[in-house]
Structure 1
Amino acid sequence: AISDLENIVLTERDGTPIYLREIATVQIGGDFRRGALDIDGREVVGGTVVMRTGENAREVIQRIKSRIAQISPSLPPGVTIKSFYDRGELIDRTIDTLKHALTEEIILVTLAHIIFLFHFRSILIVTLPLPISILISFILMKEFGVTSNIMSLSGIAIAIGVLVDAAIVMTENVIRHCELAEKEKGGRLTPAETMSVTLEASKQVGRPIFFAMMIIILAFVPVFALSGQEGKLFHPLAFTKTFAMIGSTLLAVTLVPVFCALLVRGPFHGEDRNWLMRGLLAVYDPILGWALRHRKIVLSSAGLLLVFALLLAFGLPRPALQKLESWNLKPVAHTFRGIGNEFMPALNEGSLLFMPVLLPSTSLTEVKRIMSWQDRVIKETPEVMSVAGKLGRAETTTDPAPVEMIETTIMLKPESQWRSGMTKPKLIAELTQKLTLVPGYVPGFLQPIENRLLMLSTGIRAQVGVKILGDNLDALQQKAFEIEQLVSQIPGAIGVAPSRVQGKPYLEIEVDRIAMARFGLRPQDVLDVVEAGLGGKNVTTTIEGRERYPIQVRLERRERDDIERIGDVLVATPSGKYVPLGQVAKIRRTTGPSEITSENGRLRVFVQTNVQDRDLGGFVNEIRERINREIVPHLPKGMTIEYSGQYENQIRAAKTLRIIVPSVLFIIFLLLYMVYHDATEAAHVILAVPFALTGGVFLQYLLGYNFSVAVWVGYIALFGTAIQTGVVMVVYLDEMLKKKQAERGAAFNHDDLIQAIKDGARLRLRPKVMTVATIVASLLPIMWSTRTGSEVMKPLATPVIGGMVSSLIHILIVTPVIFAWLREREFNRKR
């Protein structure tokens, strides 16, 4: 008890005891305060739950909520436990988005089949493998330990259209052969005849389908070479897409032919009885005929479109752009400046993280007052649900935040409850305007998960960091201020803030060794008194039941805050006498660094900034150019500048993609060569890739998406699919050519060649249009979705949608033209 301590006898004078209470105040006090927590402007006590590596976040959160519900009844009156940030809500919203998208995709895919086939049993054959393939994917996910999240489910979402493609080609070919067999017979086929026709039709396309599907699967394998954050993000997607494609491939060559034999029955609605196909054929026949007659124009136009797309994507060289601007052709220069680059499209987490840092001289009390003020201001915004502010650090080594750093988590209401016309950028701009009233206070908004990833991977709390490294802290700080001014002038910069390491107030006590020697004191004797008087020293421990509390000795505040009184503190000498601290030490107030950070053995400061309304890659390139021109020539010797933040991730991912994309093309070419045993034929089919790229680039440009890892993964998915359709088209053309050669024999001529190509291409029209319609329809729910997670999936789906449309034109027009040119050369050589 306090009374026990107060009545401790320290000594006695002339028989009179001197108690502790007579020379000191004994009271219960808190430990040295390093932080504070605030909810909606009201101070609270809080904690953070950290999940173990490898655990399932959703399951852990559910168990935590269950445990809180168990202990809540035992809490004292007025005490409640509430979460101010719950990642489980984000997980549930993103999974819900994917569930809705998958459901809508399956419905649209089925509708596309109905429109083109008008044959219920055939629709059943094409649709049944879809849920089975997805089921196989989920089974393999469980076996390989791949959890259900936005990226793993996105792999299934972007694969749905392709999953049914093999079944479409197989079923359509069986139906077509059955139609022809019934026409030749003049009546219905018997079950045995249907089985025989199905077997022949399946053999015809089974091998090319299998190889085409293997191309899609193997072309996606290089995605596993992605490392770092991008690897963790896209490996689950690559796994699930591969799992689903494996299931689809096996079903296409095993189960689908069996379904065809059992379910394909007349009457058949041939292409001439389908109003949509009649319209398409009426348009396609004359266009194909014209293209085969004007091959140079077709190939030249295709080449020009490809060049235009490449210029649109990667831009003209800087001198060419400057030349266009000097000719008053700024719109043209703007068009061909190239599509921007970024690491990843930002996921809308439904929350914001606000981390301002005040001047190092700001006291904890003042920081706490500012934090409460800002939380109340933010909470007044109609779109804000709750605000949780934290300053400083908790009693843990894993949270080394200084007192002047505020970390505010802002939970937003659902966007359906926002003011009309309000968007996230507008909301951030409004909050920024409200929070610019504090000197040295630079508002900068990110999102909780985004911020944590940046801090863990780069140590920078923003998208871009300019690191200045050297040996002199004062010179580094001054250079940081110069770079801050420069970066603030660059369009798109927001929340520009240098790391302020200097300006922390210190009470400096420098021992005078000569003076100490006169009194027989050692430096440690003096420093022990300073430690106990100013910092406090634990001298013993009191035991209260099962609890233990330290007993600390410390000077009163009025003694600690006055330099003269500190100088009067007595230091015991070995002779038993006392000497004032001021006689053996110099005491003064000064300023110094609040923290000293180093990197690779060198001192480091940085300037951080976020990017708004422009691409990250272009923004950093402009910063680099300005710094190289205006700052680097004047750098002191030994000082260097490096770039960090999310830009580091982008550079690493770009280097990996420069290897992955060519590897994908090489794998595709190798597989095609294995199929055709002819480099010319393989090159003919692989031309589908650049022309698929054309449509992807056009749609990406129109929708305003920058190049990112997500976009490039979308292109990789597109390349394999485009090749698959090209392989099947060549199979149809070869089939009709061989059939025509067999019919005409030695009389086979140039006109027969052209007619065979027209007939083969005409046969490929329905399955090709069905394939494109199915893939596009399967991805439309992603494109029109506004739910959480769609902002990551849309850039992934965009290249596939645009590329499949341009691939449709290439396969139906350009491929027959190139096929005709190659076969004519072969025909002429033989003659």
Structure 2
Amino acid sequence: SNLLPDGVRPSLGPDATALGQIFWYTLEGRDENGKVTGGWDLQELRSIQDFYVKYALSSASGVSEVASIGGYVQEYQVDVNPELIRQYNISLDQIVKAIKESNRDIGAQTVEINKAEYLVRGLGYVKSKSDIENAVVSSKEFTAVRIKDIGNVALGPAVRRGILDKEGAEVVGGVVVARFGANPLEVINNVKSKIDELKSGLPSKQLSDGRTSQLTIVPFYDRTELIEETLETLNSALVLEILITILVIILMVLNLRASMLISGLLPVAVLMVFIAMKLFGVDANIVALSGIAIAIGTMVDVGIILSENIVRHLDENGEELAINTVIYNATTEVSGAILTAVMTTIISFIPVFTMIGAEGKLFRPLAFTKTFALVASIIVALFLIPPFAAYLFKKRRNKISIRFLLNGALVIIGIVAVIFGYWLGLILVAFGVLAILKLLNKIDQRQLNMSNMGVSVAAIIYLLSSYWRPLGVDRNIFMNLVFVAIICFGLLIIFKLFKRYYVQILNWALNNKLAFLSIPTIIVISGFLIMRNTGQEFMPSLNEGSFLLMPTSMPHSGIEENKRVLQQLDMAVASIPEIETVVGKAGRVESALDPAPLSMYENMIIYKPEYMLNSEGKQKRFRVNDQGQFVLKDGSVVTNPNNDGQNELFNSNLKADQLIEDSNGEFYRNWRPEIKSADDIWDEIVKVTKLPGVTSAPKLQPIETRLVMLQTGMRAPMGIKVKGQDLTKIEAFGVELEAILKEVEGVKDEAVFADRIVGKPYLLIDIDREKIARYGISINQVQQVLGIALGGMVLSQTVEGRERYGIRVRYPRELRSNPTDLEQIYVPVESGSPVPLGELASIKYEQGPQVIKSEDTFLVGYVLFDKLENFAEVNVVENAQKLIREKIESGELVVPDAVNYAFTGTYENQLRAAKTLSIVVPLALLIIFLILYFQFRSVTTSLMVFTGIAVAFAGGFLMIWLYGQEWFFNFNFLGENLRDLFQMKTINLSVAVWVGFIALFGIATDDGVVMATYLKQTFKRNLPENLEEVRASVVEAGKKRIRPCLMTTATTILALLPILTSTGRGSDIMIPMAIPSFGGMLIALITL
């Protein structure tokens, strides 16, 4: 603290980071209909924000701070006239002392009167302008010289370093910052509860037109919607995965009781995962829940293997052994294989537990939930399925009358359910009627079983098509039903055909070993070649539903110019029909977390969801008439351009509360027909925000930007950090790098920008020490005059209830607006007349830094850039590094002395993650091999199973390569392009993709473990003595284990389809994680 200048008092900042800015709002006057009204000035709003709203919201649990922005901070401004000061021979020190002494309360202990104690207070706080005006500065010849005699006192705005603008109108607002480690959703809910408490106490005004303007807290950025939408996307995916696995089980097991056994216990396992998450403090975010989604396939696989073995043993047993003995034998036969398969999957996630930095915080919860899911599947498989199987498969003999009674009750309950609108009652009716027909001997047991499975399959297909809309919500249920049925049954038929011809395929492979082994060899080689040529990036962007436009103006631009430009930007963006609202900020909020200069803009752009949501934030259908027009509550109609392509009829201002919800209606699309994705909206924003004197900005989103700025200190995901000891050299070298980067392949020209560090104009007052010495004046005396007269000094604070306002002294604006006037500022001399500043100092202009940044004891500047679409960020950085090296080697670029540069941004995160994975992934694979060895006690068998990982690994890369090929799936089916439907585009190697591969490593050996375990048991039982007997044993084992292996593969592949076709919030992260497993398991079929 001894190194800090006088008057600088360091204090602790909030226990939070800029990433905790979870809730932004404005204060607006609104009438009874919710329409914006006038009647409130910016100073008045800022006072209410600073002294009422801010304190109230700060008390919400989990809030670190509430920072104000915008409007004017009121202060008492004392403008003293230097000529009058000279005439009265008064110094600035006397004025300062007079004002300080006129604003003071004291406590004078207590007085006891009539045995009662009274607290004594001396009242002296300033309450109005007149209190300051009448403050006595000096007294000569019994005449008091007051402040009003030498200057003017007025209420005015303090100097501000931040502006807030909403769609072209200046506003007042605030930002709520959550504490580090707090749950954002809980904090936002606590803040909203406080707002509900506070709103009744906010002031209101009667306007001149008779309307009442009620001050309202209006949020414009709220993470609740993003959090709930991402969780809803994943919850839907989980439900669909469960439904698909049930469908696969029914169709492939062809045993309703076994299907019920596996399907019924799957939700139990998922519930156990949530209990473990609660106990271990793992938050239910999108990545954590993705762990459950990834694990669903393995969880079901364990149940399938055990249940299928139980059913097979029961079929082979007849009546020889007791049912408990049969189930025990079936369980012990595969329990070792099940434990080994699950252990390899758990071990495969060790690399995720070792991740550090941003990737560790993001994906470690996924590793926890997947581990919980696998442990839960073991508990369910080995401790719940056997007893439930004994109960379900036990033969019972009930009286026919009781059966009639039970099934009749089932039919009645079903009919009642249908009457009350629950169509699932039809299933109960169907089950009851079929059972009654069986009792009446109208159908036999086989027909009953097949009919029950048919009803179950129909119900599941209907549920799938109702909640899984791969063709889009604007297509009717029937078309989605057809598509879902075709894709599910199509894949299942392929698996059935594979099972049917498996023995012939196996025999051919055994007879033509070299020809067959060349297939996986070619696949593995191709996969590794594709891996070497696949682009790399740190993480795919999560679609947040909002953009953050961050251009900058020139450093010398003043506050009024920045305000004008900010308003132009906001009005231009607000004119785009797809934009819900746009709020821009120039400068900083009143917080240590936001050190932004005035020339930096942050335009928070919230765009409308593609389809209209209801008041609960859910996508709903709305009523249409016979002509397909949407009917409004006031009886009028509007045409949706998504239905008929009539742009001129597009109503961009329509709200959900104007439409009528109708389950038989249509979805209202908020976007114009030519707008297909959020990227198209960003392109529109870029077009309208091209203003002279304003830089372009990379495509950013609020959370993404805060994270990048927190990690690197710059406002772009890619950049070059230039370090040195001289800011001028740093800036000059940065400008040279800017020109070179524009030549780099894959770099977006308009997004390249080097920091203009030394561009702020300075007005320097150079005090001549010789001259001030002649007058006996010190440097401090001159500086004090400058500080008070020119800059102004807050001398004291008024206490007006809860409100506090500063009292500032300075010269009038007209006496300090240019250098000539500054030269006339008088500096008092102890003996003699005051001396003009012009005689003591020289005044000159000079350019200097607007902000000084340092890192590792070096000064630093940034060169920002962004990549073009379909280019990987690591490849772009490598291209840039190569070109810069070539320029340096050729002499075209010279690195100044004591200056160095390094690429920074998410590129650094990718390098760190790749380095960690390059060490830990091989270690995890080694542990998996050791587990296999302990299971089989044979290096050959373990290697045979282990090779499944290599084949699946290559299969994952083949699928990634196919996703990037324009011809792959590029055709229409049922009116939809399949490439668009499955969101096929270039996939870069990111941490999310590697997590998908890590998940694949674990499940790739599952089928091999099951098959090899039974092979070992078959060899032990048959004791083959020659090659023919060995082949016969292999075919026997393969024939008996192919069904459970195909079922596990089918459930894994089909369960991933809802994720691959998902378009909801959060799918950007889930799809790259699912692709490796989808492609790997498809190719892994050849390992069977």
TM-score, with normalisation over the residues of structure 2? Answer: 0.69
The corresponding residue for 1:462 is: 716
2:880 to 604, 617, 623: 623
The 8 Å contact of residues 499 and 1046 in structure 2, kept in 1 or not, is answered as: no
The corresponding residue for 1:151 is: 287
Cα deviation for residue 268 of structure 1 reads 8.7
2:1012 to 718, 722, 730: 730
Instruction: State the one-letter code of the partner of 1:727.
Output: V
Moved more, 368-377 or 250-259: 250-259
The 8 Å contact of residues 179 and 268 in structure 1, kept in 2 or not, is answered as: no
The within-5 A match list for 1:385-400 is 385-400=580-595
The 8 Å contact of residues 499 and 1043 in structure 2, kept in 1 or not, is answered as: no
Q: Does 1:198 align with 2:339?
A: no
The corresponding residue for 2:955 is: 695
Q: Does 1:766 align with 2:1043?
A: yes
The corresponding residue for 1:55 is: 182
Residues in 1 aligned to 2:199 and 2:579: alpha-carbon distance in whole angstroms: 27
Residues in 1 aligned to 2:802 and 2:512: alpha-carbon distance in whole angstroms: 94
Instruction: State the one-letter code of the partner of 2:1006.
Output: Q
Q: Does 1:300 align with 2:514?
A: no
* CA displacement, residues 190-241 of structure 1 (integer Å, 9 cap, x when unaligned): 7x53322222221111112112212211221231000111011111111011
Cα deviation for residue 245 of structure 1 reads 0.4
The 8 Å contact of residues 435 and 443 in structure 1, kept in 2 or not, is answered as: no
The 1:278–1:803 alpha-carbon spacing in structure 2 relative to 1, beyond 3 Å, is closer
Q: How many residues align?
A: 775
Q: Does 1:684 align with 2:944?
A: yes
Q: Does 1:166 align with 2:420?
A: no
The 1:118–1:546 alpha-carbon spacing in structure 2 relative to 1, beyond 3 Å, is closer
The 8 Å contact of residues 745 and 879 in structure 2, kept in 1 or not, is answered as: no
Residues in 2 aligned to 1:766 and 1:502: alpha-carbon distance in whole angstroms: 72
1:474 to 722, 728, 750: 728
Residues in 2 aligned to 1:251 and 1:11: alpha-carbon distance in whole angstroms: 90
Cα deviation for residue 806 of structure 1 reads 1.2
Moved more, 657-666 or 544-553: 544-553
The 8 Å contact of residues 567 and 580 in structure 1, kept in 2 or not, is answered as: yes
Gaps of 5+ in 2: 1-127, 205-212, 396-444, 454-491, 612-669, 964-985
1:752 to 1029, 1049, 1062: 1029
SS in 2 for 1:385: strand
2:909 to 631, 643, 649: 649
Residues in 1 aligned to 2:571 and 2:496: alpha-carbon distance in whole angstroms: 66
The 1:215–1:281 alpha-carbon spacing in structure 2 relative to 1, beyond 3 Å, is closer
The within-5 A match list for 1:20-99 is 20-77=147-204, 78=213, 79-99=215-235
Residues in 2 aligned to 1:545 and 1:404: alpha-carbon distance in whole angstroms: 36
The corresponding residue for 2:274 is: 138
The corresponding residue for 1:819 is: none
Cα deviation for residue 143 of structure 1 reads 0.5
User: Which structure has the highest helix share of the two?
Assistant: 1
* CA displacement, residues 551-581 of structure 1 (integer Å, 9 cap, x when unaligned): 2111111211121111111101121421111
The corresponding residue for 1:785 is: 1062
Q: Does 1:283 align with 2:501?
A: yes
* CA displacement, residues 124-166 of structure 1 (integer Å, 9 cap, x when unaligned): 1221231111111111100000111101111001111110111
Instruction: State the one-letter code of the partner of 1:99.
Output: N
SS in 2 for 1:756: helix
Residues in 2 aligned to 1:268 and 1:168: alpha-carbon distance in whole angstroms: 22
The 8 Å contact of residues 462 and 610 in structure 1, kept in 2 or not, is answered as: yes
Q: Does 1:364 align with 2:559?
A: yes
The corresponding residue for 2:841 is: 585
Cα deviation for residue 517 of structure 1 reads 0.7
2:600 to 400, 405, 412: 405
Instruction: State the one-letter code of the partner of 2:129.
Output: I
Higher relative contact order (CA 8 A, sep 6+): 1
Instruction: State the one-letter code of the partner of 2:901.
Output: I
The corresponding residue for 1:658 is: 918
Instruction: State the one-letter code of the partner of 2:516.
Output: V
The 8 Å contact of residues 495 and 1050 in structure 2, kept in 1 or not, is answered as: no
The corresponding residue for 1:327 is: none
The 1:558–1:444 alpha-carbon spacing in structure 2 relative to 1, beyond 3 Å, is farther
The corresponding residue for 1:213 is: 342
Q: Does 1:424 align with 2:706?
A: no
TM-score, with normalisation over the residues of structure 1? Answer: 0.90
2:369 to 226, 235, 240: 240
The corresponding residue for 1:528 is: 784
2:928 to 647, 651, 668: 668
The 8 Å contact of residues 551 and 694 in structure 2, kept in 1 or not, is answered as: no
Cα deviation for residue 9 of structure 1 reads 4.9
SS in 2 for 1:163: helix
Residues in 1 aligned to 2:1056 and 2:717: alpha-carbon distance in whole angstroms: 30
The corresponding residue for 2:80 is: none
Residues in 2 aligned to 1:387 and 1:232: alpha-carbon distance in whole angstroms: 31
Residues in 1 aligned to 2:763 and 2:168: alpha-carbon distance in whole angstroms: 32
The 8 Å contact of residues 36 and 392 in structure 1, kept in 2 or not, is answered as: yes
The corresponding residue for 1:638 is: 898
The 8 Å contact of residues 291 and 369 in structure 2, kept in 1 or not, is answered as: yes
Q: Does 1:223 align with 2:344?
A: no
The 1:65–1:759 alpha-carbon spacing in structure 2 relative to 1, beyond 3 Å, is same
Residues in 2 aligned to 1:778 and 1:281: alpha-carbon distance in whole angstroms: 20
Instruction: State the one-letter code of the partner of 1:102.
Output: L
Cα deviation for residue 13 of structure 1 reads 7.8
SS in 1 for 2:547: strand
The corresponding residue for 1:339 is: 534
Instruction: State the one-letter code of the partner of 2:1059.
Output: I
The 1:279–1:442 alpha-carbon spacing in structure 2 relative to 1, beyond 3 Å, is closer
Instruction: State the one-letter code of the partner of 1:229.
Output: A
Instruction: State the one-letter code of the partner of 1:380.
Output: S
The corresponding residue for 1:823 is: none
Residues in 2 aligned to 1:564 and 1:361: alpha-carbon distance in whole angstroms: 21
* CA displacement, residues 412-455 of structure 1 (integer Å, 9 cap, x when unaligned): 10023222242222222221122122224223330000000001
Instruction: State the one-letter code of the partner of 1:619.
Output: V
SS in 2 for 1:577: coil
Instruction: State the one-letter code of the partner of 2:1053.
Output: V
The 8 Å contact of residues 505 and 589 in structure 1, kept in 2 or not, is answered as: yes
Residues in 2 aligned to 1:42 and 1:630: alpha-carbon distance in whole angstroms: 48
Residues in 1 aligned to 2:496 and 2:350: alpha-carbon distance in whole angstroms: 40
The 1:427–1:13 alpha-carbon spacing in structure 2 relative to 1, beyond 3 Å, is same
The 8 Å contact of residues 116 and 276 in structure 1, kept in 2 or not, is answered as: no
Residues in 2 aligned to 1:493 and 1:448: alpha-carbon distance in whole angstroms: 22
The 1:524–1:727 alpha-carbon spacing in structure 2 relative to 1, beyond 3 Å, is same
The 8 Å contact of residues 436 and 443 in structure 1, kept in 2 or not, is answered as: no
The corresponding residue for 1:6 is: 133
* CA displacement, residues 307-347 of structure 1 (integer Å, 9 cap, x when unaligned): 01111121xxxxxxxxxxxxxxxxxxxxxxx1110111110
Moved more, 505-514 or 18-27: 18-27
Cα deviation for residue 664 of structure 1 reads 1.6
Cα deviation for residue 15 of structure 1 reads 7.7
RMSD (CA atoms): 2.2
* CA displacement, residues 366-400 of structure 1 (integer Å, 9 cap, x when unaligned): 00110011001001111110101111112332221
Residues in 2 aligned to 1:99 and 1:649: alpha-carbon distance in whole angstroms: 29
The corresponding residue for 1:438 is: 692
Cα deviation for residue 46 of structure 1 reads 0.9
Instruction: State the one-letter code of the partner of 2:710.
Output: L
The corresponding residue for 1:318 is: none
The 1:208–1:268 alpha-carbon spacing in structure 2 relative to 1, beyond 3 Å, is farther
Cα deviation for residue 548 of structure 1 reads 3.9
The 8 Å contact of residues 158 and 778 in structure 1, kept in 2 or not, is answered as: no
* CA displacement, residues 687-736 of structure 1 (integer Å, 9 cap, x when unaligned): 11000112111111222211111111111111111112111111122233
Instruction: State the one-letter code of the partner of 2:848.
Output: G
The corresponding residue for 1:333 is: none
Moved more, 436-445 or 362-371: 436-445
